[in-house]
Amino acid sequence: MNSKTDSPQWIDLIDKSVHTSDDIDIGDIEAVNKSFIVVKRGFINIHYYYIPISKVEGWDGHVLWLNITEQFVKDKYERDRTPDPNYYYVKDYAYYSELYSPLPLIPSRYIAPSYANIAKLEESAPRMFRCDLCEQVFSSEEELNKHVKDISH
C-alpha cells in the first residue's frame, strides 16, 4: 500500500486490526481467502473468528471494519482451530494464492486533531503550565513536574 487512499489487497491486511460495527477491536487478521477473513484475538487464551468477506464494511486506511457486532461475531463465527495454509493465505506460509475481489474503501472513522488554530506563544510572553489532572497552574515546567510526581504516589 502506498498511501491510505490506495486500495490494498486482502493479503496486505494480514496483522491489521479489525473492528466491529459497535467499535470493538476483536483482534488482528491472521489469514484470508476468497470467502473468509480469519481474525485472531488474544495471546494466551486465543480465539479465532472465521468471518465471511460479505460481513466486511471496508478498510478506512487504519482499520478493517465489519458491518456486524462483536456479540454476533462471537455467536456465529468463533472456531477453535487455526487456519489451514492450504486453504488460506497465512503470513509466512503463503501456499494459497487465489485472486481476490476488490476491497471496499470507506472513510476513516478516526479524525486526527487539528493543531492549526493554536497560536504559538511569543518567547517573551509569560507561560503557564497546567496540570491536566487537577487543573492547578504552575509558573514553570519544573514545578509542574514536581507536582505530577507528588500526586502520582
pLDDT digits (tens, 9 = 90+) for 64-110: 999 999 999 999 999 999 998 888 888 877 666 665 555 666 666 66
Integer Cα distance of 121 and 129 in angstroms:
13
Percent of the chain with pLDDT over 70: 73
Burial class (CB in 10 A: 0-12, 13-18, 19+), 69: middle
What pTM value is reported for the model?
0.65
Integer Cα distance of 114 and 100 in angstroms:
37
- Structure confidence at residue 5 (pLDDT): 45
Integer Cα distance of 44 and 84 in angstroms:
20
Asked if 51 and 10 touch (Cβ cutoff 8 Å), the reply is no
Residue 116 or 150, more confident? 150
Residue 128 or 24, more confident? 24
HEC assignment per residue over 2-52? CCCCCCCCHHHHCCCEEECCCCCEEEEEEEECCCEEEEEECCCCCEEEEEE
Strand-pair partners of 105? 59
- Structure confidence at residue 2 (pLDDT): 40
| Whether residue 57 has pLDDT greater than 70 | yes
Q: DSSP for 67-87? A: SS-HHHHHHHHEESSPPPTTT
pLDDT, the chain, mean: 82
Q: Give the range with max mean pLDDT: 6-15, 18-27, 114-123, 142-151.
A: 18-27
- Structure confidence at residue 26 (pLDDT): 98
| Whether residue 118 has pLDDT greater than 50 | yes
Q: Give the range with max mean pLDDT: 14-28, 32-46, 102-116.
A: 14-28
